[in-house]
Amino acid sequence: MTTASPRELLPPWILDATTAEPPAPLRLVPWDDGFTPSGCDGRPGSVVVGQRRSSPEVCRVLDGAVDERIADLLYASAVRAKVWGVYVPIDALQQLSCERREALVNGLQQQDEAAMTRESKTTYREALATAAAHELLVESAHEVISTQDWAETHGVAVWVIASNCNDETEYHLDYAEMLRYETNVIFPPLYGATLHVSRGDIEGGGFHVNRRGLEHYREYGYKTRRQSSKLSTDALEVAATTHQEPGWTSVPYRFRRGIICDGDFPHFSGRVRALPPAGDAALPTRRVVVGFNLFPHAIGEFVSRYPEHSDAFNRYVKLSQSIFRTGQVQQHDEDRKTNAWSLETLKRNPKQAAFIKWLARKVREQQQKDECRQSQQSSGSLPADKDRVPQQQYLPHEQNGPLTCPATLAG
């Protein structure tokens, strides 16, 4: 099997904007959010704008968005692992119906994730993420995410994060993390979604989103770096909840609550101030959030190789950062300073050469494993069964785009 490198999966207009133009209506706009990743060789930043969405500027809350069993399985998995990430290709969603999802969840309930191998855990999490994405995004959010949106979608990146008291998520914009790391191109998702799966009353930890979108992010930047001084999450939360500036919507944390937003909306999660007691529960009490990003075909295959918070993503970034740090080490000999990883340097340093070979082998092995797993997934059709309509809470600022018919991924 011939394995393409991740960069070979990207369109030319992302790799080099001087040689190719993005397909209309997409545009690549110069962008400086105050952050330059170490893996992009100092390339100036840019952002992709103009993505087609059926529900632009949407911010909608769906209560009772998923079955309690799915929420409880996600919670238990997140608390045990603290964080994980997977990628759900569109084919996996297309082959699900409500009946098949029911059978899938029943099977997952019979499994013990804690006793699994690493590879088995990944398979388990992919199945659980698929069930959650299907119920939340395809079924419950069918009035927001249309058939046309799904036609634009390659797959869904899904991750879980378990937070303790005083944990928070800083102000940020969702985008393809590995793409940003490699190219400094910010490519937001079509839509972003958040799902709350912790029971009990949680103080703090709410979701705060600014509906001004990229204009707000232009002013604030990466983790507020564009401001004259960095803002704490507590300070931002005060601004968001007291209407000190326009555009903020704040959504308190609630069990089984889903939030669907335009992928261009920056957001943050407030500090967790208090958690309910665990009592006799087998697992400690945590505030768990499940994140979902819908990525288009242009970058979906690339994102699927290294989903954010996955083992593959973490390994790749750590190894790449190690190379970057090692490459910055100044050599004693003046003629070695400018190229610590040149061919001549590697010839003189067998340890460096061995490390490069080991890194290449590990990346290649992981790519092959990912390809094998993806090739085993069969495509199918998805009749949009609607057994249950969740209670919907409409925010004052809902959307400018029209609502659409229930999504059927079979087309």
Interatomic CA distance for residues 217 and 49, integer angstroms: 13
Distance between terminal CA atoms of the chain?
32
Domain contains 186: yes
Q: Which helix (H) or strand (E) holds 215?
A: helix 214-220
Q: Which residues pair with 59 in a beta bridge?
A: 261
Q: Say whether pLDDT at 244 is over 80.
A: yes
Tokens of 246: 């326009």
Percent of the chain with pLDDT over 90: 69
C-beta separation of 3 from 367 below 8 A: yes
Least confident of 59-68, 154-163, 395-404: 395-404
C-beta separation of 289 from 195 below 8 A: yes
Cis omega before residue 25 (within 30°)?
yes
pLDDT at 311: 85
C-beta separation of 30 from 226 below 8 A: no
pLDDT at 277: 92
Domain contains 334: no
pLDDT at 3: 62
What's the count of helices (H) and strands (E) in the chain, helices before strands? 13, 16
Interatomic CA distance for residues 70 and 160, integer angstroms: 13
pLDDT at 93: 97
Per the model's pLDDT, the better-predicted residue between 282 and 235 turns out to be 235
Q: Say whether pLDDT at 394 is over 50.
A: no
Least confident of 118-127, 278-287, 362-371: 362-371
Residues sharing a CB contact under 8 Å with residue 230, sequence separation 6 or more, in sequence order: 223, 224
Interatomic CA distance for residues 268 and 262, integer angstroms: 14
Domain contains 388: no
Burial call 138-167: b when 16+ CB within 10 Å, e when fewer: bbbbbbbbbbebbebbbbbbbbbbbbebee
Q: How many CB atoms lie within 10 A of CB 357?
A: 11
Average pLDDT, stretch 107-111? 98
Using the structure block, give the residue that is written with the tokens 């790449």.
Answer: 320
Interatomic CA distance for residues 287 and 275, integer angstroms: 7
Q: Say whether pLDDT at 1 is over 90.
A: no
Least confident of 55-59, 179-183, 365-369: 365-369
Q: Say whether pLDDT at 7 is over 90.
A: no
Q: What band does 406 get if pLDDT is binned at 50, 70 and 90?
A: very low
Per the model's pLDDT, the better-predicted residue between 119 and 337 turns out to be 119
Domain contains 347: no
Angle at which helices 118-133 and 98-109 cross, to 10°: 140
Average pLDDT, stretch 145-165? 98
Interatomic CA distance for residues 355 and 135, integer angstroms: 44
Q: Say whether pLDDT at 162 is over 60.
A: yes
Q: Say whether pLDDT at 90 is over 70.
A: yes
Residue ranges of the alpha helices (H) in 31-158? 68-81, 90-94, 98-109, 118-133, 147-152
C-beta separation of 376 from 122 below 8 A: no
Q: Say whether pLDDT at 332 is over 50.
A: no
Average pLDDT, stretch 95-107? 97
Q: What band does 362 get if pLDDT is binned at 50, 70 and 90?
A: low
Interatomic CA distance for residues 178 and 363, integer angstroms: 14
Domain contains 103: yes
Instruction: Look up the domain containing 198 and give its range.
Output: 46-311
pLDDT at 64: 98
| Radius of gyration (C-alpha) of the chain in whole angstroms | 22
- The residue type of 334 is E
Percent of the chain with pLDDT over 70: 77
Tokens of 121: 């855990």
Average pLDDT, stretch 118-141? 98
Work out the angle at residue 218's Cα, subtended by the Cα atoms of residues 216 and 224, and round it to the nearest 5 degrees.
80
Model-level pTM? Answer: 0.82
Least confident of 54-63, 81-90, 249-258, 398-407: 398-407
Looking at residue 308, what DSSP letter applies? T
Tokens of 15: 């790799």
Least confident of 63-77, 201-215, 269-283, 341-355: 341-355
For residue range 9-59, list pLDDT tens digits in order: 999 999 998 889 999 999 999 999 999 998 898 999 999 999 999 999 999
How do 203-204 and 272-274 pair as beta strands? antiparallel
The CATH number of the domain holding residue 159 is 2.60.120
Secondary structure of 14-73 in HEC code, one letter for each residue:
HHCCCCCCCCCCCEEEECCCCCCCHHHCCCCCEEEECCCCCCCCCEEEEECCCCHHHHHH
Residues sharing a CB contact under 8 Å with residue 170, sequence separation 6 or more, in sequence order: 223, 224, 233, 268
Q: Say whether pLDDT at 323 is over 50.
A: yes
Least confident of 47-56, 133-142, 266-275, 338-347: 338-347
Domain contains 188: yes
pLDDT at 169: 97
- The residue type of 325 is R
For residue range 63-76, list pLDDT tens digits in order: 999 999 999 999 99
Interatomic CA distance for residues 379 and 409, integer angstroms: 11
Number of domains in the chain: 1
Q: What are phi and psi of 209, to 5 degrees?
A: -130, 140
Interatomic CA distance for residues 133 and 66, integer angstroms: 9
pLDDT at 18: 82
Average pLDDT, stretch 231-250? 96
Domain contains 273: yes
- The residue type of 109 is Q
Tokens of 197: 């799966």
pLDDT at 68: 98
C-beta separation of 25 from 298 below 8 A: no
As a whole number, the mean pLDDT across the chain is 86
Domain contains 20: no
C-beta separation of 168 from 272 below 8 A: yes
Q: Say whether pLDDT at 77 is over 80.
A: yes
Using the structure block, give the residue that is written with the tokens 């969840």.
Answer: 105
